[in-house]
A and B are shown apart, each in its own frame.
Chain A
């Protein structure tokens, strides 16, 4: 796999006091590509969290007539419906207006600037209503990441609970849950999601819920398998012999041991969920306008695809890069969790 891994002292013995997750992190760190991807993902998170400070039509800081204002953080009565850009143009020293790096809001349109290729004002160009693509993409990151995380959290929760019950108890509960999983797998997930979303009012929460309630089968099967494997381990019997209840054995003793592979799958799952959300938005089932989403920008570009390359390239690249980064993180994580896969040099 990699040739730069040195056979040092046994990682289990070299440092005292290492927890399991500490060991996993040590392994993960050695995979440069995965580490870079993790940093990329974290940066994307920062972008999503601080989107209003990165792209906004209001200044971060405004000094006027000797007073300071922070229009992004606070609504001032005197600036109600003020056009800050016109205001900024009229300011003279020492008054000043400090705008974010992208001085456009995702919904601010200017028809005189429609369909402009990337230029000094609009770094990634504008769409057919003159909205800034970069601003829309920055806000679109919020949609993508939150859909990815919330949807995956929902299905990890469902999958882990059902999978652990099936794996721990076996017998009748296992038969029911396993059959439910098989029935669920028979449906083509994407069409099932479209069907569910079609019946619900368009909202980002319904998309999260739809992905969440359709995606749990993989996690459930994996958790069930891990529990089957772990159930016969002595420490489970030992904890029960020392008086622990079933629920305690499941959630406190077995689950932490089964969690690592589940989290690996969840990491890949976030990538999938982002892709599903983009596809839904592209098909028009996604987040309702004017909320920007990467898939939504792509969708609008369809009419202008023969000349407006910036409309397809940038959101497409954002989706591609995000998915790739998540997959790289997932792969690095998987290798770190499962040392057997790593040592095939």
Chain B
């Protein structure tokens, strides 16, 4: 009996279930990621958004098991990548996945490259780490990779050192390096934050087009709502180590349900709302500060800043519930 060929698999490429990552500090145990569950389908693009310290980057590093231990530790949870639990893999198999099947690019492109080697050298090294190719072939593939990320004159650039390149160029090199082994999943941790605005747009455009071309999945981490809106299909909003809202990108921007998401969207400046014109108003900030992750309030972590707070919020943690089709939120009040 012929098997149904290429039936759309229901199993996502990456499925994180109840991930808990903690850090031991002098003042106690810090739960940086507290029960996060995420899914990325094959070819899907997920955005992870939240402010500094909410656990976005720790989630990404947990996927690659790059949490510095000590003091960090992945306490529990499951990270299924293509059907295998990454948290149970021996380290040698994990190394084979890093850079080969899951790649990551970082926020600071210039310091993410080793200053003592030429960029070509570093790309070729990554290729040779995962594939048995000759030095010459690795070099040729490094040149091809540089060309692919839009670096002009790659034959000359391949022999340059990171200090001779601009930030945008370095990020292109990082992307070339991360994609040199054709990974299935690319994790981009604030890839454009350290760059100026025009370069940001170019880099995001490059990432999006390469992800499409190579039919990769993307996990994009950022605190920039604009970047999310342009780049991904699905968004998860994180606050104090938890996912507080998850939805398809248009749905989230049109019907934000969690008061934190609403607050974030309201705090964006609007085009055309210049001084003296109709619609001009002060930017609305979310009152208060993020609670210290060492000293979270009982119940909902957002309660102290929440305009909708009611007594129940201080008594128990709301569950992440589906309130609209494909739109889940962790809040008692919103509907």
Contact = CB atoms under 8 A, between A and B. Distances in A.
Interface of A: 12-13, 16-20, 170-171, 233-235, 237-245, 248, 252-253, 256-257
A243 B159 CA distance: 23
Contacts of B130: 243
A240 B104 CA distance: 10
B174 interface: yes
B70 A235 contact: no
A253 B114 contact: yes
A235 B100 contact: no
Contacts of A16: 160, 164
Contact of B115 (A20, A239, A243): A20
Given A170-B70, A237-B106, A242 B161 contact: no
A256 B115 CA distance: 9
Contacts of A18: 161
A235 B113 contact: yes
Q: Which 5 pairs of residues, A with B, have the shortest CB-CB distance?
A: A242-B99, A243-B99, A243-B98, A241-B104, A238-B112
A237 B177 CA distance: 14
Contacts of A239: 114
Contact of B103 (A17, A242, A244, A253): A242
Query: Could you say which interface size class chain B belongs to?
Result: 20 to 34
B243 interface: no
B124 to A, nearest CB: 12
Contacts of A237: 66, 106, 112
Contacts of A19: 116, 118, 161
Given A238-B106, A241-B66, A244-B129, A17 B160 contact: yes
Contacts of A240: 66, 98
B160 A243 contact: no
Interface in B100-128: 100, 103-104, 106-108, 111-118, 125-126
A146 B116 CA distance: 30
Contacts of A234: 106-108, 111-112
B177 A242 contact: yes
A257 B114 contact: yes
A239 B130 CA distance: 13
Given A13-B164, A253-B114, A241 B98 contact: yes
A316 to B, nearest CB: 42
A128 to B, nearest CB: 55
Nearest to B64: A241
Contacts of A257: 114-116
B288 to A, nearest CB: 31
A243 B126 contact: yes
A234 B108 CA distance: 7
Given A13-B164, A16-B164, A18-B161, A242 B111 contact: no
Contacts of B97: 243
Given A241-B104, A242-B126, 13 more contacts: A12-B163, A16-B164, A18-B161, A238-B104, A238-B106, A240-B98, A242-B98, A242-B178, A243-B126, A244-B95, A252-B125, A253-B114, A256-B117
Interface string B143-164: 0000000000000000111011
A114 to B, nearest CB: 57
Nearest to A257: B116
Nearest to B111: A234
Contacts of A253: 114
Nearest to B161: A19
B96 interface: yes
B158 to A, nearest CB: 11
Nearest to A254: B114
A20 B174 contact: no
B174 A238 contact: yes
Contacts of B96: 243
A238 B98 contact: no
A264 B114 CA distance: 21
A265 B114 CA distance: 23
A237 B178 CA distance: 13
Contacts of B64: 241
A235 B107 CA distance: 11
A170 B161 CA distance: 30
A243 B111 contact: no
Contacts of A12: 163-164
Contacts of B161: 17-20
A233 B106 CA distance: 11
A20 B107 CA distance: 24
Contacts of A170: 70
Contacts of A171: 70
A171 B72 CA distance: 12
11 contacts: A19-B118, A20-B116, A20-B161, A235-B112, A237-B112, A242-B177, A244-B95, A245-B95, A256-B114, A256-B116, A257-B115
Most chain B CB atoms below 10 A, which of A12, A20, A241, A253: A241
Contacts of B117: 256
A243 B106 contact: no
Contacts of A20: 115-116, 161
A244 B130 CA distance: 9
A248 B125 CA distance: 11
A243 B115 CA distance: 19
Contacts of B108: 234
A146 B327 CA distance: 74
A22 to B, nearest CB: 10
A245 B125 CA distance: 12
B108 to A, nearest CB: 5
Given A19-B161, A20-B161, A170-B70, A241 B114 contact: no
Contacts of A241: 64, 66, 98-99, 103-104, 106
Interface string B28-69: 000000000000000000000000000000000000101000
